[in-house]
A = this chain, B = another copy of it.
Amino acid sequence: MRFHSPAIQYFHAVRRTGSIRAAARLLNVASSAVSRQILKLEQEVGSPLFERTARGLTLTTVGEMLARHVMNVLQDLDRFRSDVASLSGAWHGAISIACIESLTESVLPDLIAAHRSRARRVSFTTMVMGSSDVLEALRRGEADIGIAIALRHPPDLRQVALKRFRLGALVAREHPLARRKTVTLEQCLAFPVIQALPELSIYHLLQPLIAQLSETPEPAIQADSIDLMRELAARGVGVAFQTQLGIIRLSRVAQLVFLPLDNAGSPVWSDLGIYVRAERTLPAFTDSFLQELVRELGERERRENAAYPHIA
């Protein structure tokens, strides 16, 4: 099925690789063919699409506009293909998910496993990264579905759902704070804390609260891995701060206790957003999984927030 002129596909490959020769290798054609198609495109648009630097090509403003159009075309072509395929009973495809680390512990593996058991012909690709990178991966078309801390999202992304989870402290069973129901930030800072580095969005959630305090804490440990922080907390090294997501299940297995943060009588929320490219219609099998994701995350939001009493 090669409906569209080679120029479209070549342009897309060049944009992704940032190089004509690399794109040619990717496409299994001669680099001259790619070069000519790009030149022809630029002539038809009437404006250069790339800036030729010494090392590779960079999109111009017009080039980015065309990139948007080309991505819309190719993604919609994918959808059309899957629509036709599903008509003859073949329900298969590939779903690519970009998400932050908090999801990898329980939400995503549970969901993917459940979905795979029903639809075995749907394959998954998951990419773990920071929140802003998640949005960027979506814009570049490298992921179909993105899950990230809800930042102010650009207009070319659509926020499918917004779920809020408690931010809390994670301590070992033997920790002096472990018997409390909730904790304030001040109470935590009396003990050694495992602080998140700015690469993690938890840092940006807690920083404004910490800034309000009179004294700045001396962090015992700074880390950039949710998983590592969790393991450190389990070993009693200090107090870690995390989203409540999936902690309940973990608390039973590991020696961990989750304590919702109490910020002047109200909880501290960590908003999780589910994102999708706005200018795109998802294939049926992708949309199906997306619905399950939204449902599951909503279910966890309800359940996990009910598990702890309101602070106020």
- The verdict on A69 contacting B62 (CB below 8 Å), with A3-B8, A8-B3, A8-B4 known, is no
Query: What residues of B have a CB within 8 angstroms of the CB of A73 in the complex?
Result: 72-73, 76
What 0/1 pattern do residues 48 to 85 of A give for CB contact below 8 A with B?
00000000000001100110110011001101100110
- The verdict on A72 contacting B76 (CB below 8 Å), with A3-B44, A4-B4, A84-B45 known, is yes
A5 touches B (CB below 8 Å): yes
What 0/1 pattern do residues 99 to 132 of A give for CB contact below 8 A with B?
0000000000000000000000000000000000
A312 touches B (CB below 8 Å): no
A7 touches B (CB below 8 Å): yes
Query: What residues of B have a CB within 8 angstroms of the CB of A225 in the complex?
Result: none
A2 touches B (CB below 8 Å): yes
Q: How far is the CA of A308 from the CA of B272 in the complex (A)?
A: 45
Query: What residues of B have a CB within 8 angstroms of the CB of A41 in the complex?
Result: 3
A190 touches B (CB below 8 Å): no
Chain B min CB distance to A183 (Å): 46
Chain B min CB distance to A13 (Å): 15
Chain B min CB distance to A221 (Å): 47
Q: How far is the CA of A65 from the CA of B283 in the complex (A)?
A: 12
Closest to A73 in B: B73
Contact A76 B69 (CB under 8 A): yes
Contact A69 B61 (CB under 8 A): no
Chain B min CB distance to A158 (Å): 12
Stoichiometry, as copies per complex, reads 2
Contact B3 A84 (CB under 8 A): no
The contact of A2 among B3, B44, B87, by CB within 8 Å, is B44
Chain B min CB distance to A61 (Å): 7
The contact of A61 among B80, B87, B279, by CB within 8 Å, is B87
What 0/1 pattern do residues 249 to 283 of A give for CB contact below 8 A with B?
00000000000000000000000000000110100
Chain B min CB distance to A280 (Å): 8
Chain A stretch 1-41: residues in CB contact (< 8 A) with chain B: 1-5, 7-8, 41
Chain A stretch 79-96: residues in CB contact (< 8 A) with chain B: 79-80, 83-84, 87
Chain B min CB distance to A48 (Å): 12
The contact of A5 among B3, B62, B79, B83, by CB within 8 Å, is B3
Chain B min CB distance to A192 (Å): 51
Q: How far is the CA of A61 from the CA of B87 in the complex (A)?
A: 9
A222 touches B (CB below 8 Å): no
Chain B min CB distance to A84 (Å): 6
Q: How far is the CA of A44 from the CA of B3 in the complex (A)?
A: 8
Closest to A156 in B: B281
Chain B CB count within 10 A is highest, among A73, A87, A281, for A73
Query: What residues of B have a CB within 8 angstroms of the CB of A47 in the complex?
Result: 84
What 0/1 pattern do residues 145 to 166 of A give for CB contact below 8 A with B?
0000000000000000000000
Further 11 A-B residue pairs, CB within 8 A, beyond A3-B7, A76-B279: A1-B44, A3-B5, A3-B44, A4-B5, A47-B84, A61-B87, A68-B80, A69-B76, A69-B80, A73-B73, A279-B281
